Amino acid sequence: MTIPADDSRLRSDLTRLLPPPPVDDLPPLRHQALKHRVLNATEARPHRDRARARRFALPVAAGLALTGAFTLAVVTADPVPRGTARPGAHAAAPNAAQVLTRAALAASEASATTVRPDRFVYIESLVGHAGRDAGGGPATMAPAHRRQVWLSADGTREGLLREAGAPDTPLAASGPVEYLDHRGATPRPGALGRPEPSVTDPTHTFVSALPTDPGALLDLVYAQTRPAGRAADPHQRAFDAIGTLLAETWAPPRVTAALYEAAARIPDTVVLPYATDAAGREGVAVARTAHGEQTQWIFDRATFAFLGERTVLTRATSAGPAGTLLGTTAVLAKGAAARPGDLPAG
70-84, 122-136, 194-208, 213-227 — most confident range: 213-227
The amino acid at residue 80 is V
Confidence bin at 14 (pLDDT 50/70/90): low
Please give the pLDDT value at position 179. Answer: 52
* Choice between 6 and 239, residue whose per-residue pLDDT is larger: 239
- Regarding beta strands 65-66 and 58-59, do their DSSP bridges make them parallel or antiparallel, or are they unpaired? unpaired
The residue-averaged pLDDT of 195-220 equals: 95
Task: Report the share of the chain in percent with pLDDT over 90.
Answer: 57
Q: How far is CA 204 from each of CA 102, 115, 346, rounded to the nearest angstrom?
A: 24, 8, 21
pLDDT beyond 90 at 341: yes
Q: What is the pTM for the complete model shown?
A: 0.69
Q: β-pairing, 175-179 with 188-192? A: antiparallel
Residue 13 has a pLDDT of: 59
**pLDDT confidence of residue 195:** 72
Q: Residue range 41-48: average pLDDT? A: 41
Residue 302, pLDDT > 50, answer yes
b/e map of 238-264 (b: 16 or more CB within 10 Å)?
A: bbbbbbebbbbbbbbbbbbbbbbbbbb
Contact 296, 311 (CB under 8 A): yes
pLDDT at 208: 96
> What is the per-residue pLDDT for 7?
58
* CA 90 to centroid of chain Cα atoms: 29
Instruction: Quote the pLDDT of residue 113.
Output: 79
Model confidence at 270: pLDDT above 90: yes
pLDDT for res 12: 57
* 194/172 Cα distance (integer angstroms): 9
pLDDT of 201 strictly over 70: yes
H helix or E strand, kind and range, residue 107: helix 96-108
The burial of 67, by beta-carbon neighbours within 10 Å (0-12 exposed, 13-18 middle, 19 or more buried), is given as exposed
**Model confidence over 123-157: pLDDT tens digits?**
999 999 998 877 778 889 989 999 999 999 999 99
Task: Return left, alpha or beta for 287; rule: phi > 0 is left, psi -120 to 50 is alpha, else beta.
Answer: beta
pLDDT above 70 (res 82): no
